[in-house]
Amino acid sequence: MPRICEKSATMETVITHTVGGILAGGDSSRMGTSKSLLVVDGMSFLERIHRTMTAVFTEVIVCGGSEIPSDGVLIPDEQPGHGPVGGLLSALRIARGRPVFVTTVDMPVVTSEAIRSLAEPEAQGSTVRIAQVAGEDQPLFGVYGPDVEPIARTIFDEGRRSVMAVIDEVDDVTRITIDSSTLFNVNTRSDYNVLIERYGL
């Protein structure tokens, strides 16, 4: 059974210009239990993603939810239960004028290499750079420039909860193809079973 391996980050520069954000505020309704605490290959999803992110960024925050990884910082959602736009807003607010890279807690096998392919170079203005898998946009794995904050705020205040609504309002969007296995997304117990069969508990 393969282990989830990461290349050593010791030879790579840690990114300081961008804040890493882990969106963990979902209610995991289809899973029926908190996805942050699910385990793969001996580590919870949240701890695993946090470890990967802290190897890439000097600043990593968890947006939403209630679990905090070791040596982690949690920023509760402004309004819990209002979708990922709220988490994106929290990250942009904390970043104070810097871009943010966001990923979600239900993609536990993301690699630092995939993150770097999107987070470097620094996203200026309202630049957005998101992953694309098999032709499908993955807006919850990407980097958002600081000027996206007012756009996301408007979308949020209008009651729209899809990050794609934010993407639709931005002119400068770059899509980068990422391998589907890297962005394996766990939403249901059957998804989780596939992950466990692949990597073990």
By C-beta, is 141 or 192 nearer to other proteins?
192
Phi, psi of 21 (to 5 degrees): -125, 130
CB of 109 to other proteins, least distance (A): 16
CB of 36 to other proteins, least distance (A): 9
By C-beta, is 14 or 134 nearer to other proteins?
14
Residue 146: how many CB atoms within 10 A of its CB? 19
CB of 79 to other proteins, least distance (A): 12
CB of 45 to other proteins, least distance (A): 8
Coil, strand, or helix at residue 151?
Answer: helix
Who's near 104: CB < 8 A, 6+ residues apart? 22, 23, 24, 26, 84, 140, 141, 185
Supply angle C-alpha 30, 110, 10, rounded to 5: 150
Tokens of 188: 């249901």
CB of 70 to other proteins, least distance (A): 7
By C-beta, is 69 or 142 nearer to other proteins?
69
Rule CB under 8 A: which residues touch other proteins? 16, 32-34, 37-39, 43-44, 47, 58-59, 68-76, 94, 96, 189, 192-193, 196, 201
Distance CA 21, CA 87 (A): 8
By C-beta, is 90 or 138 nearer to other proteins?
90
DSSP 8-state secondary structure symbol assigned to residue 109? T
By C-beta, is 69 or 84 nearer to other proteins?
69
